[in-house]
Amino acid sequence: MSGGDPGRTQRFAVVRTPGGLSFRFRPRALAVSAVCLLVALGLGVVLIGSGDFPMAPADVVRTLAGRGSPADSLIVNEIRLPRVAAGLAVGAALGLAGAIFQSLVRNPLGSPDILGFTQGAATGVLAVIVLAGGGSAAVASGAAAGGIATGLLVYAAAGRGGAHGQRLVLVGIGVAAILTGVNGYLLTQADIIDAARAVLWLTGSLDGRDWADAAPVLAALAVLGPLVLVGCGRALRMLEMGDDAAHGLGVPIARARLIMLAAAVLLTSLAAAAAGPVSFVALTAPQLARRLTRTTGPNLLPAACMGAALLVAADWAAQRAFPGHQLPVGVVTGLLGGGYLVWLLVTERRTGRI
């Protein structure tokens, strides 16, 4: 897959330090990342400024810098910032995880929504809500545990050396179908109040998120982000050329794949723990990033920045779409993502990539 236009050359820039280190990067990819990040942060400021107590963006920025009035400071730092921070982190985590999955399975549709990981996180949460009636901390750990357990299950079911593209996809789809059934069953076992709460969670929502919700996914991004970007970006790019080529270029295939799979599953699970299984961000962000950077390869950093921008934009739209109704963000990403998906299916068919 990883098409890209063969006619376009990929331009690299190289920076050499006096000490003999050198970095190679694509200026366009870096520019796209920067623009996405700026859009994400800008939307974040807008989002912080909007609500029942509106604030001008300038006030928001001043308050964030620590020079606002006490009242502003309370609203921004205690109430709205955690929600926006959670949104940015979840979006970035999903974008990054999606980019890793799509590279690993060599298919633009290979996102965690489709391979069963979000369903697994949902199973964990439903089990907590329905069977134990747990609070939000228990729900979050249920999501993380469910997602990680599903990751292990899929990896084990794919079998020795089976974690390559097609088989991983098919095993993931099978596991997703099983878990969907299990989730449906758990939903029928709940009383109607728990069921409504579970459906809200299953849709993906940022309502009422505080620092405790945002912290785990922020920490995961801080640790896994650099690890994946620096440590695995190259290996991932090689793996996209095929196992044989990558092996020939000296990539330790099995180990690289396992590490990246683990990182992606962890990011997905923690994102789901923070905001629920927000659909389609992991699918669309890497695709949009790839189109903007016009380069092949996993595009990890642009995908993460794009994910953050998408999620915050969707959250903003969800609060504005129906006056009087506050929709959960997952409804917006689901509807937009579904439309995008159909378009992707139709256009990508011609290029033969799906």
Partner 1 sequence: MPSTRSTQAEADASGPPRARRTGGPAPASGARAARPVRSRSARAAGLAGALLLLLAVLVLSLAVGAKPLSPAEAWDGLVHSGSGSHTVVHQMRLPRTLLGLLAGVALGLAGAVMQALTRNPLADPGLLGINAGASAAVVSAISFAGISSFAGFVWFAFAGAGVVAVLLYAVGGGHGATPARLALAGSALNAALFSYVNAVQLLDTASLDRMRFWTVGSLGAAQPSTVVRVAPFVAAGLVLALLLARPLNAMAMGEDAARSLGARPGRARIAAIAAVTLLCGSATAACGPVVFVGLMVPHLVRALTGPDLRWLLPYCAVLSPALMLGADVLGRVLVRPSELQVGIVMVVLGGPVFLYFVRRPRGRAAAA
At closest approach, how far in Å is the CB of 112 from partner 1? 10
Output 51 or 174, the one with its CB closest to partner 1.
Answer: 174
Q: Please state the separation of Cα 297 from the chain's center in Å.
A: 18
Shortest Å distance, C-beta 18 to partner 1: 49
Distance between CA atoms of 171 and 181, rounded to whole angstroms?
Answer: 16
Tokens representing 103 are 């590279």
Tell which residue, 123, 168, 100, 125, has the closest CA to residue 307: 100
Chain contacts with partner 1 (rule: CB under 8 A): 107, 109-110, 113-114, 157, 159, 162, 165-167, 169-171, 173-178, 180-182, 184-185, 187-188, 192, 195-196, 199-200, 202-203, 279-280, 283, 325, 327-328, 330-331, 334-335, 337-338, 341-342, 345-346, 349, 352, 354
User: Per residue in 98-123, is it b (16+ CB within 10 Å) or e — as a string?
Assistant: bbbbbbbbbbbbbbbbbbbbbbbbbb
Cβ 248 to partner 1, closest distance in Å?
20
Closest to partner 1 by CB, 2 vs 203, is: 203
Helix (H) and strand (E) counts in the chain:
15, 2
Task: Report phi then psi at 262, rounded to 5.
Answer: -60, -45
Select 279 or 296, whichever has its Cβ closest to partner 1.
279
Q: Give the DSSP H/E element, type plus range, for residue 198.
A: helix 192-203
Give the span between the Cα atoms of 199 and 7, in whole angstroms: 47
Nearest approach, Cβ of 167 to partner 1 (angstroms)?
6
- In the bound state with partner 1, the residue whose beta carbon lies nearer, of 79 and 187, is 187
| Shortest distance, position 242 Cβ to partner 1, whole Å | 12
Q: Where are the alpha helices (DSSP H) in 51-164?
A: 57-64, 70-73, 81-105, 117-126, 136-158
Distance in Å, CB of 173 to partner 1, minimum: 5
Instruction: Write down the least CB distance from residue 85 to partner 1, Å.
Output: 24
Least separation in angstroms between residue 337's CB and partner 1 is 7
What is the DSSP secondary-structure string of 287-352? HHHHHHHT--S--HHHHHHHHHHHHHHHHHHHHHSSTT----HHHHHHHHHHHHHHHHHHHHHHHT
Cα gap 287→3, rounded to integer Å: 12
271 vs 341, beta carbon nearer partner 1 = 341
Q: Which is nearer to partner 1, 159 or 226 (CB)?
A: 159
Q: Which is nearer to partner 1, 158 or 235 (CB)?
A: 158
User: Among residues 77 and 180, whose Cβ is nearest to partner 1?
Assistant: 180
